Amino acid sequence: MSSKRILHKLLSKTQNPKQLIGGIAGTFIGVLLLSLAVQIYFEYKSLFKEPKNDFGKQYIIINKKISALNTLSGGISAFSADDIEDIKKLPSVQNVGSFTANRFNVLAELSMGNYSPGIRTELFFEAVDDRFIDNLPEDWGWKEGQESIPLILPADFINLYNFTFAPARGLPLISPNTIKMARFKLRLTGGTGLKEYSGRVVGYSQRLNSVLVPKNFMDITNNALSPTTEKEKKGRLIVEIDQSKSGELYKLIKEKNWETNESRLMTSKFAFLLEMILVAVGILGIVILFLAFFSTILYVLLSINKAKYEIDTLLLLGVPRKHIINWYSVNIGIIYTVIIVTSSALVWFIKSMVADYLGKFGFNITAGINPLTIISAVAALSVVWLIQYLSIRKLS
């Protein structure tokens, strides 16, 4: 008879499965919560977060208020060189950039095959230095003579279309990736002529609420189609600041009576709140895990105590201790492996359900579990298992 079977025969009669189930259920819930928190954290990071190198930085877009005066004069209030200098002087400000608008007309055309009239719309572009663009796509950029123009759309654009325009018109919902496949015909007309390009959407910006084209394309085309001797008007500025010291800038904005993208700031506050909730869920998972760990370790120690006669006798007969320690540790290990596999499967299942649901609203969530989710569950249970192993060792 194998040592495992003999031990099973001797030691398992001292077990009480009802008590064990409580510990297993607690461990399972703890691991599941922890895995979900980790998984949601990574999903949320990939959906909303700015790239890694932007950590601790914040981007604020400022413009002067539009008043009735602007409506009459037909021009925007541009920032003066002094205004920009005031902003740059603030110690928290790291960079200031300005948006360049198009001085030509843009007509975009999307043909839908030979039998459909297609969609035609007027558009407007803006350009800004690449350093201010979040999630800069790989195929961003333009060289003179290049016929295809990459565009970046505001991420809200698709939501606006999917949630308001499409349902009202009975049009199909569009996912961000579908739009990327479309090719637009762009007709640019200015005082000196007409140019035709093809446009394609290469990415989406959470930060910038504008249809963006590469800066060099904008400068060259502006000069080619509507040359001007006037100095470029800086109507909107983008300011890169140290997030922790944004107060000074807000003070200045208030003093000068300018406007900011306050709603964006709300988004970032919401993102912060979400992050806090996820951290709380993760910590809750760990707390439950450790409560469950104490209940399992108490259970194991109790059953070792109940099996004291059997264990002592085996040791007195000269049976090496490792057999007994291994029997307990391997069995706990098997239970933990099953817990990790089931909870990962459940996370995967929940995720694909949620991905299907959110996919309808234009969120593009990749399939599968983040390896770090499984790694964190394995790491947490390994620590628990190791502590249990050491206390079993000490006891027998």
Residues lying near another protein in the complex (CB under 8 A) are found at 1-3, 5-6, 9-10, 13, 310, 312-321, 323, 396
Which of 13/65 has CB closer to another protein? 13
Cα→Cα distances 39→34, 118, 273, 347, 383, Å: 9, 41, 17, 8, 20
Residues 6+ apart with CB under 8 A from 250: 260
Q: Which of 95, 149, 156, 98 is nearest to 127 (CA)?
A: 98
Which of 22/320 has CB closer to another protein? 320
- Residue 296 C-beta: closest distance to another protein, Å: 24
Which of 111/326 has CB closer to another protein? 326
- Residue 320 C-beta: closest distance to another protein, Å: 6
Q: First and final CA of the chain: distance in angstroms?
A: 23
Structure tokens at 63: 């413009």
- Residue 306 C-beta: closest distance to another protein, Å: 14
- On whether the CB atoms of residues 111 and 204 are closer than 8 A, the answer is no
- Residue 377 C-beta: closest distance to another protein, Å: 34
Q: What is the DSSP letter of 134?
A: S
Which of 9/269 has CB closer to another protein? 9
- Residue 5 C-beta: closest distance to another protein, Å: 8
Which of 324/339 has CB closer to another protein? 324
- Residue 387 C-beta: closest distance to another protein, Å: 21
In whole angstroms, give the CA distance from residue 396 to residue 378: 27
Dihedral angle over CA of 307, 311, 313, 315, nearest 10:
-170
- Residue 17 C-beta: closest distance to another protein, Å: 18
Residues 6+ apart with CB under 8 A from 318: none
Which of 38/307 has CB closer to another protein? 307
Which of 267/396 has CB closer to another protein? 396
Q: Which of 70, 63, 66 is nearest to 87 (CA)?
A: 63
Dump the DSSP string for 45-113.
HHHHPPPGGGTTEEEEEEEEPP-HHHHHHT---PPPHHHHHHHHHSTTEEEEEE-EE-SSEEEEEE---
In whole angstroms, give the CA distance from residue 267 to residue 222: 34
Compute φ and ψ for 362, nearest 5 degrees. 90, 0
- Residue 381 C-beta: closest distance to another protein, Å: 28
- Residue 338 C-beta: closest distance to another protein, Å: 26
